[in-house]
Structure 1
Amino acid sequence: MTLTRLLPSLRSSIPDPLNADLWPEYTSATTTDVVVAGVSLLRLVDICQSPCIHTAAAVVPGTHGRPSTLERATAIVTTITEIAVTATGTLCISVDARFDTVRPLLSELRLIGRASVAHTTSAALVLADSNRDAPAVLEVLTGGLPADIRVGDLLAVPCRGELALRHISRSHAVPEQNTELATAAV
């Protein structure tokens, strides 16, 4: 257990620690941001919108930060789009990224954009397109997110491998062509 978990008020002055072996090369945390290979993920969202990704060399496991010459890793930034509370009191969180085709390391999921001093709580990350009465739970996050999370908050998470935006984005789907219009134009 980390000091910022025991005393969440410390998050406003020291960042939550991250596991350097799971993030891309040269990743560091601040109280409100994650910086990957010199690129602020908050600034990346300002430029690219959410969801967005940043890919760099992966870290060789067990080396506490030495970049791999062969492997890649990706940092994903996504926005919370919906929060619901189940009858048992579990928070169900939907985000604007598709996580059904990738395997993010959700143990490293972290709030960026603001420093929360609320205690952490368990939450279920659900697929946004699932049934509201019986949502498809991607994973239950045990004590990893502050209890005061809200719609619009940004979350950053690492993922092994090199991803393209099309792997996580709903808005980058290839539209179907209207065959009637195409044949009429000929």
Structure 2
Amino acid sequence: MTLTAILPTLRRSIPDPFRPSVWPEYTQVTTSDVIIAGVSLRRLVELCETPCVHTADALVPGSHIKSALRRDASVVVARVSGVFDSDDGERVVLIDADMASVSAFWDETRLLGRISTAAPNPVVILAGAGSGMPRGRGPAWVPADLAEGDLLAIPCAGMVSLHEIRPHSVDLRRGEPTENA
């Protein structure tokens, strides 16, 4: 348990700790943003809307010495489209990205855009809510006051393309996925 988990009011002045090994290289966290190689994820959302992706080199020990050690890491930024309690007592968060085909580090999910002093609570994130049927599922700890419209940054292994995470709906006449407009 971290100090910011025990005393959430500390988040006003210091960010929650993070595991650098699952984030892209040159990642810096602040109290309300994640900055990767000088690119603010909050600013990225302003330019590209959600869901959006930032891909960079993964943090691999010795990777600056040997190019064969290079790997990719990505961060998906998604907007919360709903928060509710399920029938079995789980807190469920719906996001606007389809995460079924990516390897996400759900436990490293971070709130962007505002500082929350609410205690962290376990939730299940259902991804792909824009398609009508959520397809990705991951456990995370997010602030208890998480609400519709909040932004979440979710680190992922490997290179993730926007096409992979953009929710698709199904054309019921043909049974084929179609790109959401």
The interval holding the TM-score normalised by the smaller chain is: 0.7 to 0.9
Q: Which structure 2 residues correspond to residues 10-159 of structure 1 after superposition, within 5 A?
A: 10-60=10-60, 63=61, 69=67, 70-127=70-127, 128=129, 129-130=132-133, 138-141=137-140, 144-159=141-156
Measure the CA separation in 2 of the matches of 1:54 and 1:139: 20
- The residue identity in structure 2 corresponding to 1:159 is C
Name which one, 1 or 2, has greater alpha-carbon Rg.
Answer: 1
Q: Which runs of 5+ in 1 are unaligned?
A: 176-186
* Match in the other structure for 1:162: 159
> Distance between the aligned counterparts of 1:12 and 1:22, measured in 2?
24
- Percent of counterpart pairs with the same letter? 40
Q: Which amino acid aligns with 1:164?
A: S
Query: What is the deviation of 1:136?
Result: 6.4
Structure 2 residue identity aligned to 1:139: G
Query: What do residues 130-183 of structure 1 show as CA deviations (whole Å, max 9, x unaligned)?
Result: 3xxxx7671232xx10000000000001111111100101269765xxxxxxxx
Equivalent pair of 2:99/2:135 in contact (CA under 8 Å): no
Aligned residue-pair number: 166
Superposed displacement of residue 103, structure 1: 1.5
Question: How large is the RMSD of aligned CA atoms in angstroms?
Answer: 2.2
1:27-58 deviation line (CA, Å, top 9, x unaligned): 01000000011100000000000110111101
Unaligned runs of 5+ in 2: 170-176
Give TM-score, length-normalised by structure 1.
Answer: 0.82
Structure 1: 4+ residue segments shifted above 4 A: 65-68, 171-175
TM-score of the two chains, using structure 2 as the length reference: 0.84
Partner in structure 1 of residue 174 of structure 2: none
